[in-house]
Amino acid sequence: MSTLLTCDSLSMRFGGLVALNQLSLAVSAGEILGLIGPNGSGKTTFFNVITGIYQASEGRVDYLGHDLARMRAQDIYRAGVTRTFQRSRLCLPLSIFDNLMIGNHRRLNHSLWFNLVRRSAFRAQFEEQYAQALALVRTFSQSLAERLFEAAGSVNMIDRRRIEICRALISQPTLLLLDEPSAGMTHEETRELMDDILIVREHMPGLAIIIIEHEMNVIERITERCIVLNYGQKICEGPYAQVAADRQVQEAYLGTE
Amino acid sequence: MAGVTVFAVLFLHAESQEEVMGLTLGAAAALLLLARFGWNALAAVSFAGHSRTGQAAVLIGVLIIAAVFYDQHFPLLMLASVLLYIVVCLGLNLQFGYAGVLNFAGAAFFGVGCYTAAVLTSHTSLPHLAVVLIGGLMAAGIGSLLILPVLRTHGHYAALVTIAFSILFRVFLEVNDTLGGPQGMKVQGMEILGWKLNDSLAFGEIEISFYANYVVLALVMAAVAFMLVRRLERSWIGLNLDAVRLDETACAAFGIDVARWKITAFTLGNFLTGLAGSVYAMMTGFVAPNSFTFGDSLILVSIVILGGLGNPWGLSVAAAIVLMLPEKLQFIQEYRLLLYAALVILILLFRPGGLMPRQVRSYLPGWKP
Ligand SMILES: Nc1ncnc2c1ncn2[C@@H]1O[C@H](COP(=O)(O)OP(=O)(O)OP(=O)(O)O)[C@@H](O)[C@H]1O
Ligand SMILES: [Mg+2]
């Protein structure tokens, strides 16, 4: 498969703290890459840097000819990179459907004329998007799909995670970044969630996923390759079995569990 | 609806302080009872569902009230003022209720509209429809001078910028002799395509107060502004504004241009405010710096909060209450700022959504999944 994303000596410093240290890695189209490492090792920071939330201190992130390290967050999204947040960031007073449409921003028409005056065209777009949102949420949960016009704050934590993942998927991105999607879920719920993500992925050929996860059996089951971070540095890379057997990784991370 | 209309008529009619007090307490009790049985929410839902019939009923209600007082200046002036203030509050609601941009200079932007009308009607012979439009554009334009600091500074600092502007504006008016200084300026009555709004109509014996003209004009303006804001809310743009208010980081991650939507809401809101101001000036025939104080801006913000942030129906009701009550109950006049402050604090404590909290967005009236 062709290369989708290449990071070249990417660093992120907060004052004296080096959160990412000369990180280089590559992701192929269609791949699922696991990103693991102890708390504070820079995993979330890596996501924040490539989605434009933080400005990298140095280095390049090549993505389909763009340098993400020099782009604004909103342009990175338009180029097809979406994410979930480690700590849920839904707009709780808004409906579930509203939250999904926030994620669908790049596929909606935002002109004043279209929204205020051409209401029948607006209706057509609304109905089309509603059908797609419904189909997507159904893959994850039928009961959630029936509640699309209730406030996102009215559903439980697990459903909120599902909504957040749907929000990141609905615009049909090319690269999806999942930051601990299963936090707070039981093993069974986690397994279900991962299966659902894999089902959706079948309809999106070429979608690459980078997943941060502390649950090692998730990593083992769904990733083809993992990268281990420690103090912002890459200490190991390869299929899970190989990484898990690495002595350095065991000392830094796995051994502590 | 009929009940509300009858009440409004009685209220405007009431002469003695006791009568007004009684009516007010009666209404408050009725509202409390409704709230107690959850009918409050029901009313809000039914409004949302049958918006066409609801809107028609309200229009007819206002016209009935106007008809009852056809020959009295004061109640009609009151009614037209409330309608124009609703336009202003709809604008503030776009800014604060949706986009989360707190604007403490509402009265100043209203004043920009008023003074634009005063200057243009006395020094030029522009058609008055153009004057009103320019009043709106001036407010929007002067607002855009503030937009950079509003965007650059976050949260409460943005509010401080508007407070500073509000105070500056008043001082500027007071020291500026070409604008009449503290004495203010006279403003010509309005004339649209030969329709002289300051002439009273007479049908044989019956003479109708000229303010009836302004009631009709203000009603049209309020209805159009109302429709505009409702449509905006029920669109992707309304969603963008809400997202900007609730989570700027999430906005950035999903391509929502925070600056663009804040500017849109701020400019559109000031435009509506300026429009209403220029009509108001021509209606009252007189403008002076005293009417555009920071305190007046606070009252406008409190109307939006009392009504329920983001709820056009709620703010319309709140505008009527907040403007009419002190006119009728003189003893409130002196304490009105204090009273509203207390009310706003109480509401924020016990009913953060306002008197009529907003429902989740429905994009198409009557649409069911
Ligand atoms: N905005 C910030 N300002 C200062 N320091 C930060 C900032 N964001 C992250 N850091 C620091 O960078 C380091 C890496 O944090 P990061 O959140 O990337 O870790 P992580 O690998 O995601 O950890 P966890 O598994 O706990 O989520 C930490 O020491 C953190 O305190
Ligand atoms: Mg993290």
The domains of chain B, with CATH numbers, are: 1-68 (no CATH), 70-350 (1.10.3470)
- Looking at this predicted complex, what is its ipTM? 0.89
**Quick one: average pLDDT of B77-98?**
90
The domains of chain A, with CATH numbers, are: 1-80+173-257 (3.40.50.300), 94-167 (no CATH)
The set of residues, in sequence order, having a beta carbon less than 8 Å from that of B70 and lying 6+ positions away, is B76, B206, B208, B209, B212
pLDDT of amino acid B144: 86
Give pLDDT tens digits for B350-369.
776 676 778 888 888 877 77
Say yes or no to pLDDT of B64 above 80: no
% of residues, chain B, pLDDT over 90: 17
Best mutation target among A88, A89, A105, A147 (most B Cβ atoms within 10 Å) is A105
pLDDT of amino acid A130: 93
Q: Using the mean position of ligand 2's atoms as its centre, give its distance from the Cα of residue B120 in Å.
A: 60
Q: Using the mean position of ligand 2's atoms as its centre, give its distance from the Cα of residue A35 in Å.
A: 10
Q: Does B71 touch chain A (CB under 8 A)?
A: no
Would you list which residues of chain A are within 8 Å, Cβ to Cβ, of chain B?
51-53, 72-75, 77-78, 82-83, 85, 89-95, 98, 101-103, 105-106, 108-110, 112, 115-116, 119, 122-123, 126, 130, 134, 148-151, 167, 171
Chain-wide mean pLDDT for chain B? 79
Q: Using the mean position of ligand 1's atoms as its centre, give its distance from the Cα of residue A223 in Å.
A: 23
Say yes or no to pLDDT of A257 above 50: no
**Quick one: average pLDDT of A169-196?**
88
Rounded Cα distance, A60 and A79, in Å: 16
What distance in Å separates residue A115's CA from the closest CA in chain B?
Answer: 6
A126 to B363: CB separation less than 8 angstroms, yes or no: yes
Give pLDDT tens digits for B185-197.
777 776 777 666 6
pLDDT of amino acid B88: 93
- For the beta carbon of residue B357, count every other beta carbon within 10 angstroms: 18
Best mutation target among A98, A120, A175 (most B Cβ atoms within 10 Å) is A98
Say yes or no to pLDDT of A187 above 50: yes
pLDDT of amino acid B239: 95
A73 to B252: CB separation less than 8 angstroms, yes or no: yes
Angle between helices B106-123 and B128-152 in degrees, nearest 10: 150
Q: Using the mean position of ligand 2's atoms as its centre, give its distance from the Cα of residue A47 in Å.
A: 9
Which residues in chain A touch residue B237, judged by CB atoms under 8 angstroms apart?
110, 112, 115-116
Say yes or no to pLDDT of A76 above 50: yes
Say yes or no to pLDDT of A233 above 60: yes
Identify which of A110, A151, A167 has the shortest CB distance to residue B360. A151
**Ion ligand 2: protein residues whose beta carbon lies under 5 Å:** A 44, 86
**Quick one: average pLDDT of A169-189?**
89
